[in-house]
A and B are shown apart, each in its own frame.
Chain A
Amino acid sequence: MQKEILGYKCRKCGHVQYPYRTRCRKCGETVFEGNDIVFDTVPLPRDGKLLTYTDLYALPPEFEVVKLTLGIIELEGGQRVTGQLRVDKPQLGMKLHAEVEVVRKDAYSKNWGFVFYPA
């Protein structure tokens, strides 16, 4: 099954927010259906441009690599996300394309997230 990272579309104003929060970041509304708080989920776009990045050498203990490149990316829908980069020489403003891969795992769980490659 294809994995996606989901944005949360407000049923009142249509704003897509990421990450999830109980109130819409734009209009402040929380829409209920019965007892449930509802947003429409939409897969976030996969294409975007690099806003900033860092090569991190002091990594959390379970990462078994020497270096991890992290960045903030502005997606085509305007949402910004943090993600891992697999890019040799990152340049601010460069176009990137995301895959959804395992980004962090330990003995008990796997986390899936955005990994960006040159577009």
Chain B
Amino acid sequence: MREVYAVGIGITSFTRLEYPLVEIAGYASILALKDAGLDQVDQVYLANMAAARLNHQTAVASALVDHLNLQPAGAATIENGPASGAAAIKEGFQAIASGMADTVMVTGAERMSEVNQLEATDVVASLSHPLSEAIYGVTLPSLAGMFTRLYMEKYGVTRRHLALVAIKNHANALMNPFAHVQTAISLEGILDGPDAPTNNPIIADPLHFFDVCPVSDGGACVILASAEVAKKLKKPLIRLAGVGQATDTHAVHERENPTDLLAVRLAARKAYEMAGIKPADVDVAELHDAFTILEIAESEEVGFFKKGEGHLALEQGETKIGGKIPINTSGGLKAKGHPVGATGVGQAHEIVTQLRGAGFKRQVKNAKVGLTLNFGGFGNNVVCLVFAKE
């Protein structure tokens, strides 16, 4: 396999954006092309989950190529639920590693605000099992709520631990100008104080409002290139060193141990193996905290902490910037936002930013190895990426 480098990055604000989907994708893409110093690529992948339903548009990768005058580049839309972004990066990796392409533009974009929030949630819920889950009114928050209850029961995680994830990620987002939520929150405001029940109502018990990511619009882009191309461009050499993907049962109720996220564990294992590193070698990570509980559970499944001990490490501040393994320096899905198809590419954007040393106030010192974990379905399709600075 040939080596693959991330040579350009671009991102829009993750927020409510009053632009058509393809313009959102185009904005992030043009920033990344300029960052890389390229004006043409061999291949384009556009990660998007639901343009057909949200925006009444299909074949959006072709539209993006046209929008940016990138013909005759190859192009395909990658739809892989909330893991579309990292799945598209994996496709880009394969295109370059195999020798089929020298340059690939991987863009992720979603415009969710074209429908109201409940409809957006229902569109995302269409990834659940149609006959054994969706007909009951299952949404992603409800699957997360059922998972959280078991995790609390089994490992002693409390609502306070969940709140600590939210508080940390909101604080990180305040240092990220692209983040959706720019609000500091406190234990008093969301858990202990007299106004907490009003500020932080139940969404899917035991998960409350501040345990759940916002519905966002946004786009992000990463340009991938072969070693030969990368070495000609005047950018820090950041190698996409490990790529792992794994799947699990479609219906959550079929999993043997419902508190395990096996696809997370296996995807991370594969990515570490390819990169030739161990979890302890990772300096900074972006995990898929669509719900606060997921940051805790994923931090265990990717091997940063023992199973059932992620909440203890969180409590000790080990996942803050300056801690042992800073998690979600961007603010995470929780506060940076979650434009579903864009999320995995947005995570890669943050890690490349960190490895370039361009994180400003949120920079992790001497970050050399970074990891992203993009979680599709409720854990039934997971992609893990490892980036390394050379």
Residues of A that sit less than 8 Å from B by CB: 18-20, 25, 51-61, 63, 68, 70-72, 80-84, 92, 103-104, 111, 113-114
Docked CA distance A25–B131 (Å): 17
A104 neighbours in B (Cβ, 8 Å): 135-137
A61 neighbours in B (Cβ, 8 Å): 118-119, 122
Interface residue tally of chain B, by bracket?
Answer: 35 or more
Docked CA distance A109–B382 (Å): 33
Q: Does B390 contact A (CB under 8 A)?
A: no
Tell me, rounded to whole Å, the shortest Cβ–Cβ distance linking B254 to chain A: 6
Q: Does B252 contact A (CB under 8 A)?
A: yes
A-B complex: 9 closest residue pairs judged by Cβ atoms: A54-B145, A111-B135, A19-B132, A55-B205, A80-B253, A60-B122, A52-B146, A56-B142, A72-B253
Docked CA distance A50–B141 (Å): 19
Q: Does B322 contact A (CB under 8 A)?
A: no
Assess A58 versus B258: contact at CB under 8 Å? Given A18-B132, A104-B135, A113-B135.
no
Contact B204 A56 (CB under 8 A): yes
Contact A92 B153 (CB under 8 A): yes
Assess A58 versus B153: contact at CB under 8 Å? Given A19-B129, A72-B253.
no
A57 neighbours in B (Cβ, 8 Å): 201-205
B258 neighbours in A (Cβ, 8 Å): 51-52, 72
Q: Which residue of B lies closest to A112 (CB)?
A: B135
Q: Which of B133-170 contact A (CB under 8 A)?
A: 133, 135-139, 141-142, 145-150, 153
Assess A82 versus B149: contact at CB under 8 Å? Given A52-B258, A57-B201.
no
A82 neighbours in B (Cβ, 8 Å): 132-133, 136, 138, 251-253
Residues 197-231 of chain B: 1 if any A CB is under 8 Å from the residue's CB, otherwise 0?
A: 00001111111000000000000000000000000
Contact B146 A71 (CB under 8 A): yes
Docked CA distance A58–B129 (Å): 19
Contact B131 A19 (CB under 8 A): yes
B252 neighbours in A (Cβ, 8 Å): 72, 82
Contact check: which of A18, A54, A72, A113 meets B205 at CB < 8 Å? A54
B135 neighbours in A (Cβ, 8 Å): 103-104, 111, 113
Contact check: which of B137, B139, B149 meets A53 at CB < 8 Å? B149
Contact B118 A60 (CB under 8 A): yes
Contact B132 A52 (CB under 8 A): no
Contact A83 B136 (CB under 8 A): yes
A60 neighbours in B (Cβ, 8 Å): 118, 121-122, 125, 137, 139
A19 neighbours in B (Cβ, 8 Å): 129, 131-132, 251
Given A19-B132, A54-B205, A56-B203, 18 extra CB contacts under 8 A: A51-B150, A52-B149, A54-B148, A56-B139, A56-B141, A56-B142, A57-B204, A58-B121, A60-B121, A61-B122, A68-B137, A70-B137, A71-B146, A82-B133, A82-B136, A82-B138, A82-B252, A83-B136
